[in-house]
Each structure stands twice: as C-alpha cells, then as structure tokens.
Amino acid sequence: MVKVTVCGAAGGIGQPLSLLLKQSEHITHLSLYDIVNTPGVAADLSHINTKSKVTGHKGSDQLEEAIKDSTVVVIPAGVPRKPGMTRDDLFKINAGIVRDLAVAAAKFAPKAFMCIISNPVNSTVPIVAEVFKQFNVYDPRRIFGVTTLDIVRASTFVSELIGTCPSSLRVPVVGGHSGVTILPVLSQVEGTEKLSQEQIKQVTNRIQFGGDEVVKAKDGAGSATLSMAFAGARFALNIIEAVVAKKTGIVECTYVDLAADVAGAAEVKELIGNDLGFFSVPVELGPNGVEKILPIGAINNYEKELFAAAASELKGNIVKGSTFITESPKL
C-alpha cells in the first residue's frame, strides 16, 4: 500500500497538487484532508481512471482516519500571504495548524515521509521536528521542508537569461525559504559566466523574492498555488520514486535537519556554521528518505556575502519554530 495524504487538500495548492498526484501509478490511496470541501474534491478526483483510490476526510474528527498509516504526508494547509505581508507574518495562524497536523502524523503515521509546504517553512519544519521528538518518533531523514519552488523558479529565470532549456537546467538553491534566506548558487551553473555581475544580482533577487512577485500580481487573492502544486508534486513523487520504486541517484535541494546522521551533514555544517540546525541542501533520496547530504560545493565571494546575510534571519526563524513547541506545555 502506498498511501499519500494531502492536508489542506481543498486549498489553492491542495487541489492541483492532488490532481497531479492522482496521475501517479505508484500511489494506491490518495487521502484528502481539509477542514472544508474535501468530499467534493475527492468525489471529483475519484472519477479519474488511475490506480489510486481517493478518499475525502473533513474536519478534525476525521483526521486520524485520513492520516493513519500514510507513506507520505504532504502539508499545504494554512493561510497564504496578502500583499505587504512576510511569510513570518503567517506564523501566528499556521504554526498551530502545522503543529496539530504533526501531532496526528506522529501518533498515527510515525513512519511517514513528511513534506511541509505551509509557510513560514523556515519555522514550520522545526515545529514538526519538535512534535515528532515529543512523541519519540523523530527521524530527521523523514521530515522535509519543500523548497522545490525556489529551484523551479531559478531554472526558469536563469534559462530565460542564458538561453537554455528550463526543464533540464538544474540550479542549486540552498538555505531557507524566505527572501534573503533563499540562496541560489549560480556560480555552479554552466552558462552563467556570460552574465554580468549586475545580471547575477538581479536574477538572484528575483529568485529570492519570486514569491512576492506572485503575491503582488494576485493582488490579495493569495500566493503561488499552481507553480507550487507543480513543485510539490515533483518533490513528493521523487520521494515515492526513491522509497517505493527504489530508484537511486535522485537529488533534490530540500530543507532538512542537519542533525540527520547521514554522510555529508558535517561538511555542510562546516560551511554554514554549526548553530544552524536546519538548512536546504542538496539531498540524495533513498528508501529511508535522506540517504546522503551532498556537499554544497564551491561558492564565490558574492555568494559568501549572501550566505552571511541569511544566517541571522534563518536562525531566528528556526528558534521561533522550535520554541513554539518546546516552551509550550507538553503535547
């Protein structure tokens, strides 16, 4: 059985994400959870003639049934930004939502691969980690912050400049998932040497603030949903390929706990400093999730400046997420 549960399945991301996941022949059960509208979304998707059974679950009374024994749990639940807001402004509402979903997962699907989309990702992933620790089921190889949209955007924006095929251009983007904590490593991308430093700066800024571009264009109607659904499905399906189909050599940048006792973590910590617990790094996926953390590789002086500018904000975000759980009454 390969059960994938989408929490927030009736939302702007949740619906197209579920549609993309319904196309996978590896998934046998697609479980859709939300506090509204899931019966309709599930009935609709269930008519698609692919392998997975689709079930809809609405409201917290049905959360256990929704999430129980999931192989993968994808969480795009919570509120999105409006113009003028930062991702951190979403913490007030989304931290509690993500905590409650993490509690259900820790109790009823402790072995699930957790893919966290809800913002602020820099803080919500530490929240999930702390919840799993409290339930003594924490495995840092199985909890991921989904930063794939940054990579997708970077491939698009850089390709536009250097004239390559966007779907095959791989641009490493490490760090976190908000503004200056998003760190594109363009010096490692062949073809960028022909760009001026001004162009590099501009495209770096566009990647870091790509989310704001969409928030502004949607003008109060939310943030990226369709591109996020694409990115989220790519990430979740890569996990499934690695775990279920045992495909090797799949590498994605994703925001993980560097405490993961896996090859490569120490090397990355040396580059970014020991006190940053979570960081998006290139990860090789395997049957247990994070198989190997790959080196970030050489970065140039401009990128070193970006790394330095990211550290304090990212650290603050991580502490805010962790302490939301550790400084509250025991769950």
Ligand X SMILES: O=C([O-])CC(=O)C(=O)O
Residue ranges of the annotated binding site for substrate are 81, 87, 119, 153
Q: Residue 276 binds which entry of ligand NAI, ligand X, none, with Cβ cut-offs from 5 to 8 Å by kind?
A: none
Under rule CB under 6 A, residue 210 binds ligand NAI: no
Instruction: Give the one residue of 166, 179, 191, 222 binding ligand NAI; rule: CB under 6 A.
Output: 222
Instruction: Give the one residue of 11, 211, 264, 286 binding ligand X; rule: CB under 6 A.
Output: 211
Instruction: Give the one residue of 117, 129, 272, 306 binding ligand NAI; rule: CB under 6 A.
Output: 117
Instruction: Give the one residue of 125, 224, 258, 260 binding ligand X; rule: CB under 6 A.
Output: 224
Specify the residue for token string 């109607």.
221
Under rule CB under 6 A, residue 175 binds ligand X: no
Q: Residue 78 binds which entry of ligand X, ligand NAI, none, with Cβ cut-offs from 5 to 8 Å by kind?
A: ligand NAI
Calpha distance 278→270 (Å, rounded): 13
Annotation: binding site for NAD(+): 8-14, 34, 94, 117-119, 228
Instruction: Give the one residue of 87, 99, 141, 142 binding ligand X; rule: CB under 6 A.
Output: 87
Task: List, in order, residues 6 or more apart from 308 with CB less than 8 Å away.
Answer: none
- Per-position x/- string for 142-181, each x denoting binding to ligand NAI as judged by CB under 6 A, each - no binding: ----x--x---------------------------x----
Answer for the pair 186, 150: CB distance below 8 angstroms, yes or no: no
* Tokens standing for residue 245: 């189909």
Instruction: Give the one residue of 23, 25, 36, 48 binding ligand NAI; rule: CB under 6 A.
Output: 36
Instruction: Mark whether 29 is an active-site residue.
Output: no
In 3D space, the residue among 213, 231, 235 whose CA is nearest the CA of residue 283 turns out to be: 235
Under rule CB under 6 A, residue 18 binds ligand X: no
For the CB of residue 31, give the shortest distance to ligand NAI in the complex, in Å: 12
In 3D space, the residue among 276, 210, 223 whose CA is nearest the CA of residue 90 turns out to be: 223
- Per rule CB under 6 A, count of chain residues that contact ligand X: 10
Calpha distance 97→118 (Å, rounded): 9
For the CB of residue 11, give the shortest distance to ligand NAI in the complex, in Å: 2
Annotated active-site positions, please? Answer: 177
Point out which residues bind ligand X (CB under 6 A): 80-81, 87, 119, 149, 211, 214-215, 223-224
